[in-house]
Chains A and B, each alone.
Chain A
């Protein structure tokens, strides 16, 4: 009897036994999240690695063991949860996107455009070289543009980081997420069509961007109105924020836009309308952490379902290598005049290596749009995402420590000589 049959038998037994309760999937997901929470804690405490590594490991083990809680390509509640998690992260990231910075320091925008362009063409060229057809190489190259703001923000929280490299990496990650979401969602609709004219190619981009902008604007206006009479430090304001993002996510997906993109745009617009510092992050606290943890577990469960073969591994490693090189090169080439040192530019490039939920959403969209091409896209996309969710988090942590922007030493908490006293 193989492992899958054994698990199926056990699940069958438990599903009989648990019939009167909320249902077996609820129990399994709850236990999985509990294991992920414990694993994240232990990984940080005894290995000094970011918590997200623990979450991903638990998800990967569940995925490899054949856990069927998330079916690829994503749909239904798992798709919504992933979009919601990404939307919450991107709403906050949008609120941190300093538009006035680009006016005072346009080189940051040049760095962003250059690293995104180099990443796209670098990965596209590499995949062509390895013999993949353009309709497969294009989605993977688009996915590679993204530097996960979700992973980066968790690493920043874990390391209590602040400083020029941290801020710049987060800004560039938010910008390239914006590009990739806009292009990725738009092109997914075209995958089985062959647009001839430029207008035909741009039309879907305008539709995704336009619809997402409308929902994002409604979200921003609703929150701006709420903030006129609600305190930003109130717990109720945080709940209102979360509920409105959830509604906006569901609405955007329904009308054909991108839920994470709408949230990102909503964050940017709200910050523009209401330049006061945001204070609800602390109130969102555990709810937001739970949602992002769920997102990381979900991503790695799905990503672990990929077929791991030697040829696939070679392609994945080539994609990851060229992507890292392109990001570092893009940031470095446009570094003169941007106010950062060469050392900082190098580490900004490294800090942008994580891949996670946004890349998975883009890949999922392409796979849904074309199941045939989707199989080939999935073969490369899923292992890359799983690997870079873990390795990217570690590399981002290395970058933050290398430039001295962490407020905690990089030793496992269990062996740290400085005590982190809690009340």
Chain B
């Protein structure tokens, strides 16, 4: 599944194929399944590049064929275009667990990439790929989405990390979702790794999220803390014929009733799996803080500054300004991230995420994220292909 793309389950998703009577279009939302509170799941969308000029290379099918021969945790699946794959973990219980699962997957990816003479790279965008050169992965659903969205589907060759966090019940999931919304800028700034698009420095730390805006039903989930009300909203939306499943919503955070989780979708794929695991640890610590201390009640007014904060984080990364939704106070986002990390210390200890948060804290204190690393490399090399090569080395565990 792409970062924020609605992927309808049924084939007849276009309005022309919908039943004429709005009442007959209504789909009931599936029940919110049980999951262990604070359980984790991580998905990473990754780039496949050739080792000659380091442009994206259409090797997804070959990679999937080779990966299927190795028993691994989680799964590896195709993505919208043939130069992307998505890896995911099984259910994890800590950041340590995440890295324990992601490491063998990474090793297998590297081994198979070497066999195919390609490289695997993290990052939210490929620095210089041309969207029109991308090919849609040969799968009926991707072909139909491509027909519906035209060039947007190829422009959606962007790479994100999704973090699922288990919630005790449906109402708790919505409470968790709206509390998490205050920390969307934190997630964006910490994971930002997409400063370059189509060979240009966008001046954004995370330009990837700008591509998501082009799609309908992006942004934030409607404010309700009651699953019953959410079900009613979902049914009203399906009556319009615009929505047929939860997958059609590509909000920054959305409930995932079949897993019993909420899914946070604003992260750029980091350049290393270690940072991906650390970010998952940060989300889990926040969730633990919410569940155990109930630190604040989310309100509709939180969303007054939501889009502004989100923009600031995308544009300036750790140098962004953060407007506190409750007090309206302006402060450096970096300071607010460090403040939350201090608040989370006890919870991160209990979740065995101290090291993960420590690594994130060190990078924030040094004012460094992956976007900065990419810009520094480009400043030195003056050749984006070389930046991608070094990013590929970094994904392998090498590179500075």
**B135, chain A: closest CB distance, angstroms:** 7
Encode contact with B along A262-283: 1 for CB under 8 Å, 0 otherwise.
0000000000000111110000
A404 and B135 contact, Cβ closer than 8 Å, known pairs A167-B50, A278-B53: yes
* A277 with B389: CB separation less than 8 A: yes
Tell which of A14-22, A98-106, A293-301 binds the partner: A98-106
* B58 with A277: CB separation less than 8 A: no
Which A residues are CB-close (under 8 A) to B388? 277
Count, chain A residues at interface, CB 8 A: 27
Count A-B contacts at CB 8 Å: 69
B243 within 8 A of A: no
B57 within 8 A of A: yes
**A interface SS class:** loop
Tell which of B19-27, B112-120, B278-286 binds the partner: B112-120
* B59 with A164: CB separation less than 8 A: yes
Report the bound CA distance from A407 to B58 in whole Å.
Answer: 10
Which A residues are CB-close (under 8 A) to B59? 163-164
Q: Per a CB cutoff under 8 Å, which of A167, A276, A340, A341 touches B386?
A: A276
Look across to chain A and name the residue whose beta carbon is closest to the beta carbon of B56: A162
B65 within 8 A of A: yes
A66 within 8 A of B: no
A405 within 8 A of B: yes
Report the bound CA distance from A405 to B135 in whole Å.
Answer: 9
Which B residues are CB-close (under 8 A) to A232? 383
* B385 with A164: CB separation less than 8 A: no
The A-contacting residues of B in range 41-100, CB under 8 angstroms, are: 50-55, 57-59, 62, 65-66
A96 within 8 A of B: yes
Residue among A104, A171, A231, A232 with max Cβ neighbours from chain B (10 Å):
A104
Which A residues are CB-close (under 8 A) to B57? 162-163, 167
Report the bound CA distance from A277 to B52 in whole Å.
Answer: 6
A160 and B383 contact, Cβ closer than 8 Å, known pairs A98-B117, A105-B117, A167-B117: no
Look across to chain B and name the residue whose beta carbon is closest to the beta carbon of A341: B65
* B66 with A339: CB separation less than 8 A: yes
Which A residues are CB-close (under 8 A) to B111? 104
Look across to chain B and name the residue whose beta carbon is closest to the beta carbon of A277: B385
Q: Per a CB cutoff under 8 Å, which of B55, B58, B114, B389 touches A276?
A: B389
Which B residues are CB-close (under 8 A) to A233? 382-383
A279 and B385 contact, Cβ closer than 8 Å, known pairs A104-B114, A105-B117, A167-B117: yes
Which B residues are CB-close (under 8 A) to A171? 117
* A164 with B53: CB separation less than 8 A: no
**B244, chain A: closest CB distance, angstroms:** 30
B30 within 8 A of A: no
Look across to chain A and name the residue whose beta carbon is closest to the beta carbon of B130: A407
**B180, chain A: closest CB distance, angstroms:** 40
Look across to chain B and name the residue whose beta carbon is closest to the beta carbon of A279: B383
Residue among A108, A275, A341, A407 with max Cβ neighbours from chain B (10 Å):
A407
Chain B: number of interface residues, binned into ranges: 20 to 34
**A164, chain B: closest CB distance, angstroms:** 5
B133 within 8 A of A: yes
Look across to chain B and name the residue whose beta carbon is closest to the beta carbon of A161: B58
**A366, chain B: closest CB distance, angstroms:** 34
Look across to chain B and name the residue whose beta carbon is closest to the beta carbon of A164: B62
Residue among B57, B59, B65, B116 with max Cβ neighbours from chain A (10 Å):
B116
* B114 with A277: CB separation less than 8 A: no
Which B residues are CB-close (under 8 A) to A105? 114-117
**B120, chain A: closest CB distance, angstroms:** 14
* B386 with A277: CB separation less than 8 A: yes
**A410, chain B: closest CB distance, angstroms:** 14
Which A residues are CB-close (under 8 A) to B389? 275-277
* A160 with B133: CB separation less than 8 A: yes
Which B residues are CB-close (under 8 A) to A101? 51, 114, 117
* B51 with A340: CB separation less than 8 A: no
Report the bound CA distance from A101 to B50 in whole Å.
Answer: 12
Q: Per a CB cutoff under 8 Å, which of A164, A277, A341 touches B54?
A: A277
The B-contacting residues of A in range 143-167, CB under 8 angstroms, are: 160, 162-164, 167
Which B residues are CB-close (under 8 A) to A276? 381, 383, 385-386, 389
Report the bound CA distance from A277 to B53 in whole Å.
Answer: 5
* A104 with B51: CB separation less than 8 A: no
Report the bound CA distance from A418 to B62 in whole Å.
Answer: 28
The A-contacting residues of B in range 245-268, CB under 8 angstroms, are: none
B138 within 8 A of A: yes
* B383 with A339: CB separation less than 8 A: no
Report the bound CA distance from A275 to B388 in whole Å.
Answer: 13
* B116 with A407: CB separation less than 8 A: no
Residue among A162, A231, A232, A275 with max Cβ neighbours from chain B (10 Å):
A162
**A343, chain B: closest CB distance, angstroms:** 11
Report the bound CA distance from A316 to B57 in whole Å.
Answer: 38
Q: Per a CB cutoff under 8 Å, which of B51, B54, B381 touches A98?
A: B51
Look across to chain A and name the residue whose beta carbon is closest to the beta carbon of B51: A98
Report the bound CA distance from A372 to B116 in whole Å.
Answer: 47
Which A residues are CB-close (under 8 A) to B53? 277-279
The B-contacting residues of A in range 80-105, CB under 8 angstroms, are: 96, 98, 100-101, 104-105
**A159, chain B: closest CB distance, angstroms:** 12
What are 30 A-B contacts defined by CB distance under 8 Å? A98-B51, A98-B52, A98-B117, A101-B51, A101-B114, A105-B115, A160-B133, A162-B57, A163-B57, A163-B59, A164-B59, A164-B116, A167-B57, A231-B382, A233-B383, A275-B389, A276-B383, A276-B386, A277-B52, A277-B54, A277-B383, A277-B386, A277-B388, A277-B389, A278-B53, A279-B53, A339-B66, A341-B62, A405-B58, A407-B135
Residues of B within 8 A of A (CB): 50-55, 57-59, 62, 65-66, 111-112, 114-117, 133, 135, 138, 381-383, 385-386, 388-389
Since A162-B58, A164-B116, A277-B388 are in contact, a sample of 19 more A-B pairs with Cβ atoms closer than 8 Å, ordered by chain A residue number, is A96-B52, A101-B114, A104-B111, A104-B114, A104-B117, A105-B114, A167-B52, A171-B117, A232-B383, A233-B383, A276-B383, A276-B385, A276-B386, A277-B52, A277-B53, A277-B389, A339-B62, A341-B62, A407-B135
Question: What 6 A-B pairs have minimum CB-CB distances, sorted nearest first?
Answer: A277-B385, A104-B114, A101-B117, A339-B115, A105-B115, A163-B58
Residues of A within 8 A of B (CB): 96, 98, 100-101, 104-105, 108, 160, 162-164, 167, 171, 231-233, 275-279, 339-341, 404-405, 407
